[in-house]
Amino acid sequence: MKISYTEQYEKEVMPYFKDKGYANKYMMPYISKIVINSGIGKLVTSDKYSKDDIIDQISQNIALITGQKPKVCKAKKSIAGFKLREGMPVGLSVTLRGKNMIAFYDKLVNVVIPRTRDFWGFNRKNFDLNGNLSIGVKELSSFLEIDSDKIKIPFSLQISFSVKGKNKEDAVKMFELLKFPLSKVN
């Protein structure tokens, strides 16, 4: 059964928080944006691959997954211990809002997470004090857009859900009502 973010939000989340005493929908918690990051610092400093190949291939894969081309994040200062120089690319980042965010959320919950092996739910400790959720995805074969045989350079993704709301408890309850796969135990 497919779960759409907007339908689930209107059927489950809004009535729950309205009964809890929230006067209008703007007071209720909601996902304002999703940020997808991939760190490439170790890959860039290794001699295995060329810097341009790394950025091109990982950028193409992230663009396939999200529907947007990622921006290249560069180092702000040099760190000799990490073989890092100022201006070197260290990561790729995409920020999704609006329709792209909802499409990515629906794809993540309905397709990607159910295809992940040995998955028991995301840890509830991944929430920060404001209710933002950060998860990591190591297994990219779960994304239908990516052909795992063609991935030459291994990389993982960090996905952050930025939540607008009053506190962590409301954000956790919102994700539970949205049927987001959270672990049962704290």
pLDDT digits (tens, 9 = 90+) for 134-160: 998 887 777 878 777 677 777 888 999
pLDDT tops 70 at residue 36: yes
| pLDDT for 186 | 59
pLDDT tops 60 at residue 164: yes
| pLDDT for 185 | 67
Identify the band that residue 7 occupies on the pLDDT scale cut at 50, 70 and 90.
confident
In the chain the first and final C-alpha atoms are separated, in Å, by: 27
Domain boundary assignment for the chain? 5-20+37-177
pLDDT tops 70 at residue 44: no
CB 139 within 8 A of CB 100: no
Backbone φ and ψ of 5, nearest 5°: -60, -50
| pLDDT for 4 | 79
Residue in 143, 94, 142 with CA at minimum distance from that of residue 119: 142
Over range 18-27, report the average pLDDT: 87
Proportion of the chain above pLDDT 70, given as a percent: 94
CATH architecture of 5-20+37-177: 2-Layer Sandwich (3.30)
pTM of the model: 0.86
pLDDT tops 80 at residue 43: no
pLDDT tops 60 at residue 1: no
| pLDDT for 99 | 92
Please give the Cα distance from 168 to 186 (Å, whole number): 13
pLDDT tops 80 at residue 52: no
pLDDT digits (tens, 9 = 90+) for 63-88: 988 989 999 988 888 888 877 788 88
Over range 112-120, report the average pLDDT: 81
Please list the alpha-helical segments (H only) found in the chain. 5-8, 14-19, 41-45, 51-66, 98-107, 113-115, 168-177
